A and B are shown apart, each in its own frame.
Chain A
Amino acid sequence: MTEVAQYVVNGLSLGALDAMLALGVGLIFGVMRLVNFAQGAYIMLAGYVLFFTIEAPWAVVIPLTVAAGVAIALITERVAFRPLRGADGSTLMIASFAVAFLIQSVIVAFEGSGPKSIPIWSLLSESIVVLDVRIPVLDLITIGVSACLLAGLWLFLTRTRTGLAMRAAAEDFEMLRLLGGRANRVIAVAFALSGVLAAIAGILLFSKTAVVDPTAGTNPVLIAFVATVIGGLGSILGAALGGFSLGVLTTALQATLPAGLSSYRDAFVFGIVIALLVFRPQGLLGNRAEAQRVI
């Protein structure tokens, strides 16, 4: 029983984290039809900022990391993605791949390719015991922080004009283009939000793993990609739901796969993703317009 509870907490925490990752990709996809591979680089960069500033009090570290995330997101939008607006999907994707590679190469040039260990705050590595269940504090914080963040994001997307424009664009891209002058702002805000999500997800992620290296962003962004597709391209809520489901699915597989197969867990997850793409290309919440099948 306690083991199940353990897995539930794990699943919720991982789901919350993956939801944040997925939203970072989903928001940008909504406004630009760009599947932003550079999101991983934003996360990795946040990790390095964390590494460099960890000695400072957390009231300094967290805003600094978030600012770094926002900055890199906005810079890449201005320099790399704005000139490519309107280009077809594969061009945009490769461009984001190039941006990610570029950021990674800069980090390698300055900091080398080896891992850096991050001495995480002692609070985060503790666990509390509730009814015989050992719950890591970090899991609770992850769930709490993402809940707040997602609530704030939901308010923004439903109550502000920019947020509304973002949701509308996600459903119907032509609409954003018709907005003309406001498009720049909507897109910039989407990138900034993705930067925030990347930074916070990075802080939570690297607090758990306690190490960062130049390739640390690639796994998270892969998860974000598939989560966005699972949730349905063209739905921001879908991205969050997709991320959450993916985290829960991963934990469930971890719990249920027989011992010999558990190391293949990720292969099963990605296999399920491919199956989902074949049988339900619009994902959980996507609209049919985004889903195309050749046959």
Chain B
Amino acid sequence: MQQAEARVGGTLLDLRSDAGRLLGRVPLVLALTAGLVVICLLVEAYGSDELKTTTITMLINLVMVVGLYTFIGNSGVLSFGHASFMAIGAYASALLTIPIVTKSVLLPSLPPFLADASFAPVPAALTAAATAAVVAVAIGIPIVRLAGIQASIATFSFLAIVQVVLSNWTDLTRGQMTMTGIPLSIDVIGPMLWAVVAIGIAYLYKQSRSGFRLRATREDELSARSLGISVGRERFVALLVSAFLVGLSGYLYARLVGSFSPENFYLEVTFITLAMLIIGGRNSLAGAIVGPVAVSVLLELLRRGEDGSTFVTIPTGSRDIVFGALTLAVLVLRPDGLMGRRFG
């Protein structure tokens, strides 16, 4: 194969070397991440508590959307079920970090290894994310063999199944009652570091051979298969990585809000995160970063507008309406989102 170079999105890559492949897309994603870090540091230093909460929310959405991109963006298969991985991450971190005394009151019937568990933040985050990935193995086996719409409907079914299980497995989750008692934290640096880690993992995956192969199936499945690429296997890997990242966002969510119930991980968050990915650009990691940031900024401006504290006042409830209309507009006018049609 003589032609071992490729122009990918305007950057000359030497595909013969792994270094060339791994370093190819660094500039844009790195710049965006660096910008993100700067913003977070500024907020941590000078921001009000309110602004910190908003920023942490944005970081949670960002990790979630980066996880979504890892599957949806690379495979081209739309998934409506990823909110379930967020739920699993959140509930797992709750079970691991709620102080033991509180836990025994809230969840008296836990098995000993959970009832006595008290994890530090980093192990809790990793374990929660890993739990989501383990569940992804179970759902991945049937789903990655399906095509297009069938796969999307299967992910919808998965969302519904997890919702029912969470609402009814009261010994583990308190069912529809709020799970509460998770130690809160309003520190911005922790989520920021996790966001950087998440972006790093997503980047390493997408630049890996598996990531390239998966994107090949996204572009032209038949040709990819004729090259011997196993679509199911590549999608499976992507699903695991994305579940891990989304589970991580669940951990971050739990420690920001401190209490939640199954309905926090159902259709509303599914739509909002999908919309953020669409608006940013579902084909690229850069889009997965830009989307949540841009939307969060917009929503924050709208919220202030509703409060009347900026130059234009808008009626309450307009925020969601604007958001829905914006998503629709992007889909019609610029379906590839803000970052446009990129290779990855």
The interface of chain A, by Cβ under 8 A from chain B, is 35, 80, 83-84, 87, 89-91, 93-95, 97-99, 101-102, 104-106, 108-110, 215, 218, 222, 225-226, 229, 233, 263-264, 266-267, 270-271, 273-275, 277-278, 281, 291-295
Q: Is B104 engaged at the interface, CB distance under 8 Å to the other chain?
A: no
Distance in Å: Cβ of A130 to nearest Cβ of chain B? 34
Are A293 and B146 in touch, CB under 8 angstroms?
yes
Are A93 and B324 in touch, CB under 8 angstroms?
no
Q: Is B288 engaged at the interface, CB distance under 8 Å to the other chain?
A: no
Are A292 and B150 in touch, CB under 8 angstroms?
yes
List residues of B (172-191) whose CB comes within 8 Å of A's CBs.
Answer: none
Bound complex: CA A225 to CA B158 (Å): 13
Are B331 and A91 in touch, CB under 8 angstroms?
yes
What total of chain B residues lie within 8 Å of the partner, measured CB to CB? 47
Taking A264-B168, A277-B157 as known contacts, 7 extra A-B pairs with beta carbons closer than 8 A to each other, sorted by chain A number, are A35-B152, A99-B324, A102-B321, A263-B168, A270-B164, A274-B154, A278-B142
Residue of B nearest to A291 (CB): B150
Residue of A nearest to B146 (CB): A277
Are A292 and B156 in touch, CB under 8 angstroms?
no
Are A98 and B335 in touch, CB under 8 angstroms?
no
- Which of B77, B152, B164 contacts A264 (CB under 8 A)? B164
Q: Is B275 engaged at the interface, CB distance under 8 Å to the other chain?
A: yes
Are A278 and B157 in touch, CB under 8 angstroms?
no
Find chain A residues with CB under 8 A from B318 CB.
109
Find chain B residues with CB under 8 A from A98 CB.
271, 275, 324, 327-328, 331
Are A270 and B231 in touch, CB under 8 angstroms?
no
Distance in Å: Cβ of A224 to nearest Cβ of chain B? 11
Distance in Å: Cβ of A161 to nearest Cβ of chain B? 28
Find chain A residues with CB under 8 A from B165 CB.
264, 267
Find chain B residues with CB under 8 A from A80 CB.
328, 332
Are A97 and B153 in touch, CB under 8 angstroms?
no
Bound complex: CA A141 to CA B66 (Å): 49
Bound complex: CA A144 to CA B194 (Å): 58
Are B156 and A94 in touch, CB under 8 angstroms?
no
Main secondary structure of the interface of A (DSSP, over half): helix
The interface centre, meaning the residue of B154, B328, B331, B335 with most chain A CB atoms within 10 A of its CB, is B328
Bound complex: CA A293 to CA B142 (Å): 11
Distance in Å: Cβ of A199 to nearest Cβ of chain B? 22
Find chain B residues with CB under 8 A from A215 CB.
267
Bound complex: CA A288 to CA B274 (Å): 30
Residue of A nearest to B331 (CB): A95
Distance in Å: Cβ of A258 to nearest Cβ of chain B? 14
Bound complex: CA A110 to CA B10 (Å): 48
Bound complex: CA A294 to CA B143 (Å): 10
Bound complex: CA A93 to CA B76 (Å): 13
- Which of B143, B149, B278 contacts A35 (CB under 8 A)? B149
Are B317 and A108 in touch, CB under 8 angstroms?
yes
Are A270 and B161 in touch, CB under 8 angstroms?
yes
Q: Is B4 engaged at the interface, CB distance under 8 Å to the other chain?
A: no
Are A108 and B164 in touch, CB under 8 angstroms?
no
Are A105 and B321 in touch, CB under 8 angstroms?
yes
Given contacts A266-B160, A270-B161, A277-B142, contact A95 B328 (CB under 8 A): yes
The interface centre, meaning the residue of A91, A273, A294 with most chain B CB atoms within 10 A of its CB, is A294
Find chain B residues with CB under 8 A from A225 CB.
153, 156
- Which of B161, B275, B332, B335 contacts A267 (CB under 8 A)? B161
The interface centre, meaning the residue of B157, B158, B317 with most chain A CB atoms within 10 A of its CB, is B157
Given contacts A99-B328, A109-B317, contact A274 B152 (CB under 8 A): no
Distance in Å: Cβ of A230 to nearest Cβ of chain B? 10
Bound complex: CA A104 to CA B320 (Å): 9
Q: Is B325 engaged at the interface, CB distance under 8 Å to the other chain?
A: yes
Bound complex: CA A263 to CA B168 (Å): 7
Residue of A nearest to B263 (CB): A215
Residue of A nearest to B225 (CB): A294
The interface centre, meaning the residue of A84, A101, A110 with most chain B CB atoms within 10 A of its CB, is A101
Residue of B nearest to A82 (CB): B332
Are B331 and A277 in touch, CB under 8 angstroms?
no
Are A94 and B331 in touch, CB under 8 angstroms?
yes
Distance in Å: Cβ of A28 to nearest Cβ of chain B? 13
Q: Is B147 engaged at the interface, CB distance under 8 Å to the other chain?
A: yes
Distance in Å: Cβ of A113 to nearest Cβ of chain B? 9
